[in-house]
Copies of this chain bind each other. A is one copy, B any other.
Amino acid sequence: MVAIRNLYWTERIDAFIFGGLILASTLCGVGGAVPGGVRAADPKNRCQLQFGTTHKQEHSKMTKRAGRRSLRRRLAAASAAMVLVAVMFAGLSVSSFADEPKPDPAGTATGDKTSAVDAAGNPFVVAEPTDKTAPDYAQNKKAFDDYQAQAAKEPLAVKLADSVGHVRIATNMAWTLNTGYLVLFMQAGFALLTCGLVRKKNAAHLMMLNFAAYVFAFLAYYAVGYAFQFGAVAINAAPTNLGGVPTLNHFLIGSGQWGFVGGKGFFLVGPAYDAGSNVLTLFEVVFMETAGYIIVGAICERISFWAFLLCELFIGAILYPISGCWAWGGGWMSQLGSTMNLGHGYVDFAGSTVVHAVGGFAAMALAIILGPRLGKFGPGGKIRVFPAHNIVYVVTGTFILLFGWMGFNPGSTLGATDFRISVVAVNTNLAAVAGSAAAMLIWYFLFGKPDITMACNGMLAGLVAITAPCAFVSPTSSVIIGTLAGCLVCGGVLFNERVLKIDDPCGAVSVHGYCGWLGAVCVGIFADGTYGSGWNGVGAANYLGHAGQGVTGLIHGDTKQFWCQLMGATLYAVWAFGATFVVFWMVNKVKSMRVPPESEEEGLDVPEFGMPGYPEDALVTAQY
């Protein structure tokens, strides 16, 4: 272990230097892209179609060289700044006390006899009670002594418990990773869905936005986002199914039950170079990515690439992790049950608000800042409908998203030993089909035919809305929630377009924003109390006068939970809209985030990336 600890320190020091350099170059890509946006508008460049996996034009080197020189200066400055930031965060991650829990990067010290529990969650090992003033101290002390006495007689059983605890954690890690992979795969779903819904001239642009969202938001989350969100998770929300991640135990802002921002795990070094923590990292980073993909649907067909990357870095580093900490990182909202006596605290099982409403309302703010696409609203407010270009992509993308949601919701138990996973999976599907059926029927009644893209949006709306309540409600309630969401998304699309005059090409604001808000509120209405006993530390022994009562909604008798959900969901909407609007309103003042009008007319593919979505077809067209 000496060797490992030594390496661990070396590693840590190395890490900050390297990490800083990498992030620096990453961020400079954004700064550097500013002139690129300008250059892309240069008609000399735009008029050339450039293809293939290989090199590009040789000319206009002089201009570029000058641009590059200026870029190098920015690079140097940004690098220096980033190294400073990295070193600063390094200080935050350093644990200077000898009794700090040690990270376990090899995973060979995670999952022992203390992880062996039965179906109801009762541990095998009886822990020694520490609070001698507790009313049940004598009773607990006796249980502990009895266990100790018996354990001396059954050393093999105790030894075997180490294996059992290990297998239990393994089962849960496998579950969490496998479901996390499904969520990761949702990127293909979002890309195909949004690509299919836009015009052909922006097909490559859509694919690249979804692709780059993954890349750059991931880097931001790796650098600081994970630490902001989960850096203190062990304090109030230790994922015991994964071994508890005891090394993530410090709030950067706040403390105790009033935590606001986590403070350990920057650059995934030190306390976050741990097997249990990395399961959480993998699972949570793909959730953050989902928020990052959501905005694409509302801002596509007009945002410039550099501005988009800035949005993704903002979401991955700041917007998502901070509010994510409040509900999932053991932050203040999750603790409202203890601190303010508001039900089980704010509860969002898999992220109707934490993920979807944050993405959806950030998308709304960006869509407003960017303004509508050219020609969307004609004179007199006449609405022009732009054609989708590939319905096959749209439906396939929706299927992939449904598949991914089988990871999103059931995976959010962080373990297969929580058998509620099956109810979650069934509820999720039921809301999806109900939402879809509702949207088909509504469109049929309103406009005479079931609309395919609205059927897809209805399914996604149902999925978004069931994401928060999926573990707390019955199948019947899931059908109702899905139906409500299917109605809301139809209304929302029409409302945004006809009343608010917000141009949201793929309906992201309605699907993820409005229905996300609805989902979290539905927890406060439909939760039936069969699940969530002890959630956020509330009601393990007794709640609403019943032993083992879980999270309970309005129609099952808990008014406080409803108010908590209503206010919490609204706060998420306001936070996402407000923070995004303020930041990017300023950015947009400094430099317009939109591509030049001529790029928008031409389609963003070639001006931004030198390549249309269907290069050969474009070439053929160009020849005529």
Contacts and interface: CB of A to CB of B under 8 A. Distances in A.
A7 B530 contact: yes
A560 interface: no
A529 B1 CA distance: 11
A266 B157 CA distance: 43
A454 B56 CA distance: 12
Nearest to A450: B609
A163 interface: yes
B395 A163 contact: no
B446 A40 contact: no
Interface in A419-444: 419-423, 425-426, 429-430, 433-434, 436-437, 440-441, 443-444
Interface string A123-161: 010000000000000000000000100110011111111
Contacts of A219: 433-434, 437
A307 interface: no
Given A282-B429, A423-B275, A448 B45 contact: yes
A516 B197 CA distance: 38
A452 B15 contact: no
Copies of this chain in the oligomer: 3
A421 B451 CA distance: 42
A116 interface: yes
Interface stretch (A179-187, A252-260, A331-339, A592-600): A179-187
A599 to B, nearest CB: 12
Interface stretch (A318-326, A340-348, A362-370, A545-553): A545-553
Contacts of A200: 616-617
A14 to B, nearest CB: 7
Interface in A448-498: 448-457, 459, 474-477, 479-480, 483, 493-494, 497-498
A329 interface: no
A330 interface: no
A624 interface: no
Interface stretch (A91-99, A381-389, A564-572, A575-583): A381-389
A590 interface: no
B474 A385 contact: no
A160 B118 CA distance: 8
B399 A188 contact: yes
B55 A447 contact: yes
A493 B53 contact: yes
A403 interface: yes
Contacts of A55: 383, 385, 446-447, 494, 497-498
Contacts of A388: 51-53, 611, 615-616
A111 interface: yes
26 contacts: A1-B548, A3-B545, A18-B477, A29-B441, A36-B448, A50-B385, A54-B493, A55-B498, A104-B419, A107-B419, A108-B120, A116-B163, A157-B160, A200-B616, A207-B395, A208-B450, A212-B450, A222-B430, A267-B476, A269-B476, A276-B419, A278-B422, A279-B422, A388-B611, A388-B615, A390-B614
